[in-house]
Structure 1
Amino acid sequence: MSEKSVMPLPKRLKAARLAAKLTQEGLGIAAGLDEHVASARMSQYENAVHTPDYNFVRKLAKILKMPTAYFYCEEDDLALIIASYGKVPSDDELK
């Protein structure tokens, strides 16, 4: 019996968007999508109908203030550590 592989990106994207208190439309527009398709496109990404390319995920990560790796991490505990790491200020930010 083969196990179906589930990409973590859809659930991580939705969790990060909700934590940032953004709508699908708002996130899509902030990422440069046309306002007429932003909500539908983000819904497709969150429901694994389509998968965004890596550069678009990087753009979403920047908007959501999350490390890009968070969206691809399969282990939930490790994803939380990665998300926390992204919130630690750098040495330059502390100066």
Structure 2
Amino acid sequence: MNQYEQGSRVPDFETLEKIAKELDVPVAYFFCSSDKLAEMVKIFGGLPESDQEKLLEQLRSSMDKMY
């Protein structure tokens, strides 16, 4: 793990999935470019699928109103 944190090694996808499972986060969490986005991914990933769909619809609706 230390070598991953130091950037001297990069985990393969299978290892990344195992780490994500241990930390209870989606794999996408590791690829977020900001803390806010990472938090959103973690929260979204923890929601039941029906709630994920509702939230996506709300976000789409908000985006449509903005543009």
Equivalents in 2 of 1:77, 1:50: separation in Å? 26
Residue 44 of structure 2 corresponds to residue 85 of structure 1:
yes
2:36 and 2:49 map into 1 onto residues whose CA distance is 23
The 5 A counterparts of 1:53-64 are 53-64=12-23
Does structure 1 residue 74 correspond to structure 2 residue 33? yes
**What root-mean-square deviation, in Å, do the aligned CA atoms of Structure 1 and Structure 2 show?**
1.6
- Unaligned stretches of 5+ in structure 2? 51-67
TM-score (norm 1): 0.46
How many aligned positions are there? Answer: 50
Q: For 1:43 and 1:78, how far apart are their aligned partners in 2?
A: 24
* Structure index of larger Rg: 2
TM-score, reference length from structure 2: 0.62
Q: Which runs of 5+ in 1 are unaligned?
A: 1-41
Following TM superposition, the consecutive aligned residue runs of length 4 or more in structure 1 with deviations greater than 4 angstroms are none
